[in-house]
Amino acid sequence: MRRSTDRGGADPLHAGTRVLALLGDPVDHSLSPVMQNAAFAEADVDGVYVALRCDGGDLSGLLRGLARAGGGGNVTLPHKQRAVSLVDEPTSAVRRTGACNTFWLEDGRIHGDNTDVEGFRRALNVLIDGISGARVLLLGAGGAARAAVAVFRDDGAGEVHILNRTVSRARELASRLGDGQVQVLQEPDALLAGTYDLVVNATRLGLDPEDPLPVDLEKLDRVGALYDMVYRPEETRLVHQARERGIVAMDGGEMLLQQGAAAFERWWRRPAPTEAMREALQGRAPEGAGARRLDGASGPQGTGG
């Protein structure tokens, strides 16, 4: 029988219910509890998902205690880098990006993954038909940008240009994850008359409707597609500009959904009920939540994460 999403039906909480939690600060406007509890209900698994605000000093005890008790969860800002050292078995995505946003217990060991990588890959596959050989412009050099570069490398993108306000941070990203195909642009003027198959915004710009555009698409000769990792109930200014120019574009809602689906699959070892999760996100966004940066577990992003 399908479980009630408010747990007021035939299957109330009990001593054996598995507890999963989002750990971060802030977490009060996270959409992850709405999405994941809808998934648990649809899949008829015995779990509950909550958001817990915690500071850095509490992270280790909460993360490892939840996992050891048979639960698990997500990690969002500002703790995703700190979480890397708290898991026993990090995936290759964690090791490569230096960030962990999902944790669980398996075979007596605490495992950690960065589902932003898989979430971004799945979202891109909805937007476009593959990125093999694509020329890419990446805006930003934080946590979400790291996940993006990992996908570009794995999936055979061609030349990747990174533009970030702090050039040294972009160089660090290129050095950590890039190769000869990843180049850092020194200044915005380097974009003039550029041609790109894909433009990805992995910055904070767009969280506030008054933010300037992270890039003026009018200055580029051609853009094939645009992915904006910022999510708003209404389209972001960047997505709006892209669609006005006839560019296929998508905001960060799909990445939020897909990284959450990947996390569900790690915890429960079964396919995620993505349509139920999508319906929950579309119908239950908290009033006044505004924009979201979709790095980690739907937390507003400071670095891209």
Q: Which domains does the chain have, with CATH numbers?
A: 18-114+254-293 (3.40.50.10860), 117-252 (3.40.50.720)
How high is the pLDDT of residue 296?
40
How high is the pLDDT of residue 11?
64
CB burial of 116-144 (b: ≥16 within 10 Å; e: otherwise) equals bbbbbbbbbeeeeeebeebbbbbbbbbbb
- Cα 172 to Cα 98: distance, rounded to the nearest angstrom: 12
pLDDT higher than 70, residue 10: no
How high is the pLDDT of residue 286?
45
Per-residue confidence at 186, pLDDT binned at 50, 70, 90? confident
Q: Which of 249, 241, 201 is nearest to 225 (CA)?
A: 249
Annotated active-site residue 80? The verdict is: yes
Q: Is residue 174 within 8 Å of 162, Cβ to Cβ?
A: yes
Q: Are strands 195-201 and 222-228 parallel, antiparallel or unpaired?
A: parallel
Question: Is the Cα dihedral 141, 123, 132, 243 positive or negative?
Answer: negative
- Cα 199 to Cα 220: distance, rounded to the nearest angstrom: 11
Candidate list 80, 146, 204, 278, residue with the active-site label: 80
pLDDT higher than 50, residue 224: yes
pTM confidence score: 0.87
Q: Which of 24-33, 142-151, 174-183, 286-295 has the lowest mean pLDDT?
A: 286-295
